[in-house]
């Protein structure tokens, strides 16, 4: 599973000139902990977090709520690519103690992944994951005799395939399902 599979999109962003009060209202209304700060081309120039806003108001700075987020944002800030693995995102969030990672594609912010997004994937049951994998496989190849087994998010798909390219496509489809940790395809040829 990749960042693009679980990210919130489109990303809710602010520009550097947005007032602190407005950024705080966006955080509250969307239930976010951070907002990417972008320029006119949607390129990230910083990030404003709940902590930044609290420090700006109640710490030594005491910025006015009408001051621009540019005065309190964290800059430079980093993002991750849309193809980044969920495992890498989780490691970065834990190691760097961040709750939100902007997702960047061709230098522009296209989404965000939060700890909540990662926990949502973790919370899915194997039964729900298997049903979603089967649904994707049926859309791809029509109703076939797909055998889908899931254990702790590890998916094993068994079916007859004409070529290995189909097996690669099926693997990619399964890996895109929320909650899938790994996906393995076994063809009829694998058992011989």
Count of beta carbons in the 10 Å neighbourhood of residue 58: 9
Per-residue pLDDT at 66: 83
Tell how strand 154-159 and strand 147-151 pair up: antiparallel
Q: What angle do CA 1, 133, 85 make, to 5 degrees?
A: 5
Given a cut of 60, whether residue 112 has pLDDT beyond it is yes
What's the CA gap between 189 and 187, in Å, rounded? 5
Beta partners for 48? Answer: 35
Beta partners for 8? Answer: 112
CB 146 within 8 A of CB 174: no
Given a cut of 70, whether residue 101 has pLDDT beyond it is yes
What's the CA gap between 138 and 177, in Å, rounded? 14
Cβ-count burial 106-138 (b if 16+ within 10 Å, e if not): eebbbbbbbbebbeebeebebeebbebbbebbe
Lowest mean pLDDT among 16-25, 46-55, 161-170: 161-170
Instruction: Give the residue ranges of DSSP H helices in 62-161.
Output: 86-96, 115-123, 126-141
Given a cut of 60, whether residue 184 has pLDDT beyond it is yes
> Which letter does DSSP use for residue 31 in this model?
T
Q: Which domains does the chain have, with CATH numbers?
A: 3-121 (3.10.580.10), 124-191 (3.30.1340)
pLDDT (tens digit per residue) in 128-168:
999 999 988 888 877 667 789 999 889 999 877 667 788 88
Cα separation of the two ends of the chain: 30
Structure tokens at 137: 């496989």
Q: What is the average pLDDT score of the chain?
A: 86
Helix, strand, or coil (residue 117): helix
Backbone conformation region of residue 153, classed left if phi is above 0, alpha if psi is from -120 to 50, else beta: left
Per-residue pLDDT at 192: 45
């Amino acid at each position: 599973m990749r960042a693009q599979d679980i990210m919130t999109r489109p990303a809710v962003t602010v520009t550097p000139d947005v007032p602190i009060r407005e950024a705080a209202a966006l955080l509250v209304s969307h239930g976010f902990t951070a907002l990417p700060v972008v320029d006119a081309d949607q390129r990230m120039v910083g990030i404003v977090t709940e902590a930044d806003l609290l420090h700006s108001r109640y710490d030594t700075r005491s910025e006015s709520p009408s001051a621009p987020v540019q005065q309190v944002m964290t800059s430079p800030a980093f993002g991750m690519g849309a193809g980044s693995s969920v495992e890498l995102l989780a490691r970065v969030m834990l190691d760097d103690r961040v709750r939100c990672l902007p997702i960047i594609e061709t230098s522009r912010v296209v989404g965000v992944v939060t700890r909540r997004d990662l926990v949502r994937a973790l919370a899915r049951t194997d039964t729900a994951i298997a049903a979603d994998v089967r649904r994707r496989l049926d859309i791809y190849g029509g109703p076939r005799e797909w055998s889908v087994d899931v254990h702790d998010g590890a998916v094993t798909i068994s079916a007859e395939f004409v070529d290995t390219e189909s097996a690669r496509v099926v693997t990619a489809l399964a890996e895109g399902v929320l909650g899938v940790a790994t996906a393995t395809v076994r063809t009829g040829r694998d058992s011989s």
